[in-house]
Structure 1
Amino acid sequence: MAQVLEFKLPDLGEGLTEAEIVRWLVQVGDVVAVDQPVVEVETAKAMVEVPCPYGGVITARFGEEGTELPVGAPLLTVAVGPPAPGGESEGSGNVLVGYGTSEAPSRRRRVRPAPLGPHTAGGRTGADLPRTASAATGAGAPAVSTGPAHVRVAAAQAEGPVPVISPLVRRLAREGGVDLRHLAGSGPDGLILRADVEHALRAQAAHAPVAEAPTAPAVQAPAARISPVRNGIRTPLKGVRGAVADKLSRSRREIPDATCWVDADATELMRARAAMNAAGAPKISLLALLARICTAALARYPELNSYVDTDAREVVQLDHVHLGFAAQTERGLVVPVVRDAHARDAEALTAEFARLTEAARAGKLTPGELTGGTFTLNNYGVFGVDGSTPIINHPEAAMLGVGRIVPKPWVHEGELAVRQVVQLSLTFDHRVCDGGTAGGFLRYVADCVEQPAVLLRTL
C-alpha cells in the first residue's frame, strides 16, 4: 500500500533558521525521483535548490512563492511505494548537499511507487491512503490536489520513471515544455541526455508559430507592496539583501573606519598582462593580478589581515588570506570568498574568480563560499567610476578599492604623456593600525601596479 510521506524544510546549516520560497520546481501530481530538486529557496546566505529524499508523486505543496518558512516546516508530501521491511520508509538521506544532510539510513534504497488499482488489498481506495498528521490537517497551508492519489501513483507505475541523466536536464525539459516520455534517449539503455532535450527544443522551435516578441523569463524579486500611509513601493529587506543590510549596518556601528587613496600609473601593468595573454596559455584576468598584488602587500603588512575580537578586546591577526571580492548580481551585492588566495598563482586565481562569479550570477553560491573572508578586493571600476569610500565587510579590517583605468595626462620620466591611470583606495579599521601602516600598504600596492617587477621580490 502506498504511503504519503511529508518532506520538511531541512536544516540549512550555518545557523540559518528560515528560508524564502523563490520558485517551485514541481507541481502537485508530478512524479519525482529521489534527490530531484523540488523547490528553489533563498536564505540569508544564498539561493539554492532543495532536493527531495523521496521518489513518488507530489500530493501537496505548502507555501506560495515569496513565503518565508522556518526550518522544520512542511514543504510537500509525496505518495511513495510500500514501506521497507520493518516498517521504515527510506529516502536517500541526501536532503541538501552542501548545507547539511539528514541522518543517512543504514541501507539506501530508491523507493518506487507500488502498483495500485481502483481497489487495494483490504478494500481501500486511493482516497483512503494514509497521510501524515500534518498533511491530513493541512498544517502550514491547505493541501492542493489534482486528483485521487491512487490514480496518480498508478500512472507513475504504469509509465515508470523516465531515465534522465540529471535533474538539470529534467528542469530544462520542463521549462521548455518537452514531454520526456516521448523522447528516445541517446545514452546507454535509453538514458535521456541534455543533447536529446536540446534537439527536441530546436525541433519544437522550428515548428512553432512566430511570436510577436520573445520574452525573457521573469526574475523572481522580493514581494513589494504599496504603502497605505505614504505613496511609494516598499520592498522587504530579507534573504540575501536583508543579510547584507544587517552586515553593513553593523559595520558602520562598530568599525571606526578611515580611507586613504592614491592615483597610480597602470600602463606597465596593462602591458604585462597583454604579454602574458599573448603567450597562448590560459588568459589572466586583471582582477587576478590585483589579487596577487593584494596578497603580496598583506604579507608585508599583516596587520590589515585581521579582525577585532570585541569581547576579548584583542586584535586577531590571521596567517591565511581568504580574499573576498564584491560581485553585483540581479539579486543584489554578494561577496564570494577565494580560499587561501595567498597560495594561488595568477592562473589559479583567474579560474577561481570565474567560477565564483558564475555561481554568484546563477544564485548557486553555498554559505561556505560567502563566509570566512579576511580581506576584500572591491573592483568598482567596472561601474565606470573612479573612486569610492566603501563600507568594510564586517568583521574584516580593510578593503582595497580599484577604480576604472582610463587614459589621463601624466608626468612620465619628466615629460607630459598620456598614460593609463587608476585610483586606488584603502578603507581600514583604525583600531587595528594607524595611518602609517595603511599608507605603507597602499603605497606598496601602487608601486606594484606601476612597476609589476616589484612583485618579483616576493615570488
Structure 2
Amino acid sequence: MAQVLEFKLPDLGEGLTEAEIVRWLVEVGDVVVVDQPVVEVETAKAMVEVPCPYGGVVTARFGAEGTELPVGAPLLTVAVGETADGRPAGDPAGADTAGSDGASGRKPAAEGSGNVLVGYGTSHAPARRRRVRSTGLAVNGRPRTPEPARATRPADTPQGTPDPQSGGGKAPADGPVPVISPLVRRLARQNGLDLRELTGSGPDGLILRADVEYALRAAASQDRTDTAATAAAPVPTATPAPAASSGSTPSVTRVPLKGIRGAVADKLSRSRTEIPDATCWVDADATELMRTRAAMNAAGGPKISVLALLARICTAALARHPELNASVDTGTREIVRYADVHLGFAAQTERGLVVPVVRDAHARDAESLTAEFARLTEAARAGTLTPAQLTGGTFTLNNYGVFGVDGSTPIINHPEAAMLGVGRIVPKPWVHEGELAVRQVVQLSLTFDHRVCDGGTAGGFLRYVADCVEQPAVLLRTL
C-alpha cells in the first residue's frame, strides 16, 4: 500500500530559520528518487538545492516561487511504496488504490536518506523520472488533492494576509502556539504581541513572520488613526487639501531587508554596535609590485592576480602581528587568537555583497590563492556558495579599488577583528629617489578592533604591508 509522506523544509545550518523558494525542480506528478534535488531555495547566506529524502511520486507542492517559508514548513508530499496490485506508486495503472496514511507514523515502504543535505549514504537504485497522466494519485477514479489544511491555501497567496480558507485559526488558550521559527517568537516578544491572538497564514495555521509583521503594521496604523482623530477633534474644520489623483505615483518605495541584503544589514549593524573600530591609512608606491607581477606572468604558467599578491602580503603581516588575526568573545571577555588564517574577501554580486572565505590562506602560494579567488568569485556570482564557504573567516581583504575609489573606512566583518582595504592603483606624482616622478600609487587602510590591539600594533601591521607593496623583495624573508 502506497503512503503519502510529507517532506518539510530542513534546517540548512548556520542558525538559518527560513528560506525563499527560488525555483521548483519538479512538478506534481513527477517521479523522484531518494536524494534528488527538488527545489532551489535562497537563504540569507547562499542558494541551496534541497534534495528529497523520499523516492516516489510528487503529489503536492507548497509555496510558489518567491514564497518565503520557515524551517519545518511543508515543501512537498511524495507517495512512496506500492499500490495494492503491486505496482509502484505513481504507476497510472495502479494509482487508484493509493492510500494516504503517511502521517500515521508507520515505517514508509521506501526509506529516506536520513540526511537531506550531505552524506546521504543511500543505496537505492536510481529510477527513471517520468510524469503520470494525472496531477496526483487518484482515489476512486478522481484526482486526489492534498489535505485541506494545506492544499486550500493557494501557492500564490501573499504572505502576511491571513487566508480564511487555510485551515488555520487562533490557538486555543491552553494549547500550543503554532510557531516554528525562533525569529517569529522573538519579533512578537520584542513588540509585546500575543501570538495566541493571531491567525496564521501558513500551512495548518502556522504563524509566519509575515503574519507578525502584518499585525504590527495594522496596530501601528490604528494607533496613528486614533492619535489623528484625537488631535483633530477640537480644531475647527479647515478647507480640505486637494486629494491626490488616483493615478498618482507613490513618493516612496519600500524595499524589504531580506535574504542576502537583510543578512548583511544585520551583520553590519552588529559590528557597529559591538566593535569599537578605528582606521589608519597610508599611501604606497606599488610600481615595483606591479612590475613583479608582470615578470611572474611573463615567465609562463597560470596568471597571478594582484589580489593574490596582496593576500600573500596579508598573511605574512599577520604572522608578524597575530593580534589582528583574532576575535573577541564578549561572553567570557577574552580575545581569541587564531593560528590559521582563513582569509575573507569582499565580492560584489547581483544579489549583494558577500564575503567568501579562502581556507588556510597562510599555507597557499600566489598561484593557489589566484585559483581559489577565481573559483569562489565565480561561485559567488552564480549564487552557489555554501554557508560553509561564507563563514569562519579570521581576517578580511577588501579590494574596493575595483569601484574606482581611492579610500574607504569599511565596517569590520563581525566577529573578525580587522580588515585591510585597498584602493585603486593609479599613476600619480611621487617623490622617488629624491626626484618627482610618475609612479603607480595605492592607498591602503586598516580598520581594526581597538580591543584587540592599540594603534602601535595596527600601525606596524599597515607599515609592513606598505613596505612589501613598495619592495616585494621584503616578502622573501617569510617565504
- 1:326 corresponds to: 346
Please give the secondary structure, in 2, of the residue aligned with 1:282.
coil
Q: Quick one: structure 1 residues 82 and 449, their matched pair in 2 at CA, closer, same or farther if it must change by over 3 Å?
A: same
Q: Match for residue 316 of structure 1?
A: 336
Tell me if 1:388 matches 2:423: no
The residue that corresponds to 1:374 in the other structure is 394
Q: How many residues in Structure 1 have an aligned counterpart in Structure 2?
A: 365
Q: 2:383 aligns with which of 353, 363, 370?
A: 363
- 1:429 pairs with one of 439, 449, 464: 449
- Percent identity of equivalent pairs: 79
Match of 2:263 among 243, 249, 267: 243
Partner of 1:139: 150
Separation in 2, partners of 1:90, 1:112: 16
Q: Which runs of 5+ in 1 are unaligned?
A: 145-227
- After superposition, the Cα gap between the structure-2 partners of 1:274 and 1:115, relative to the gap in structure 1 and judged at 3 Å, is closer
2:272 maps to 252
| Aligned partners of 1:52 and 1:95 also within 8 Å | no
Structure 1 residue 108: Cα displacement: 3.5
Compared CA separation, residues 124 and 18, structure 1 to 2 (3 A): closer
1:34, distance to aligned residue in structure 2 (A): 4.0
Pairwise CA distance, 1:58: 2.9
User: Could you give the per-residue CA deviations for residues 274-308 of structure 1, whole angstroms, max 9, x where no partner exists?
Assistant: 11111111111111110000000000011111111
CA distance in structure 2 between the aligned counterparts of 1:327 and 1:117, rounded to whole angstroms: 46
Supply the AA of the counterpart residue of 1:127. R
Distance 2:261 2:52 in 1: 27
Q: Distance in 1 between matches of 2:152 and 2:430?
A: 67
Give the corresponding residue for 2:5: 5
Q: Which has the larger displacement, 445-454 or 277-286?
A: 277-286
SS of the residue aligned with 1:424? strand
Compared with structure 1, are the counterparts of its residues 414 and 36 closer, same or farther at alpha carbon in structure 2 (3 Å cutoff)?
A: same
Q: Which residue of 2 aligns with 1:272?
A: 292
- 1:289 corresponds to 2:309: yes
Query: Could you say what secondary structure the match of 1:234 adopts?
Result: coil
Structure 2 residue aligned with 1:165:
none
- Cα offset for 1:250? 0.5
Taking a change above 3 Å as real, the CA distance of residues 362 and 113 of structure 1, as seen in their structure-2 partners, is closer
Deviation at 1:128, TM superposition (A): 7.6
Question: More displaced, 295-304 or 69-78?
Answer: 69-78
Aligned match of 1:335: 355
Distance 2:338 2:353 in 1: 26
Classify the secondary structure of the residue corresponding to 2:150.
coil
Deviation at 1:65, TM superposition (A): 2.2
Larger radius of gyration: 2
Q: 1:179: which partner in 2?
A: none
* Partner Cα distance (1:52, 1:114) in 2: 16
CA shift for structure 1 position 40:
1.5
Unpaired runs of 5+ residues, structure 2, are: 89-105, 156-220, 225-249
Structure 1 runs (4+) deviating above 6 angstroms are 111-118
Query: Taking structure 1 as reference, are residues 344 and 141 closer, same or farther at Cα in structure 2, changes over 3 Å only?
Result: farther
Partner of 1:385: helix, strand, or coil?
Answer: coil
Q: Cα RMSD over matched residues?
A: 3.0
For residue 408 of structure 1, the aligned residue among 405, 422, 428 is 428
From 420, 427, 432, give the equivalent of 2:440.
Answer: 420
Kindly indicate whether residue 475 of structure 2 is the aligned counterpart of residue 455 of structure 1.
Answer: yes
* C-alpha distance in 2 between matches for 1:81 and 1:116: 16
Give 1:440's aligned amino acid.
Answer: G
Determine the structure 2 residue equivalent to 1:67: 67
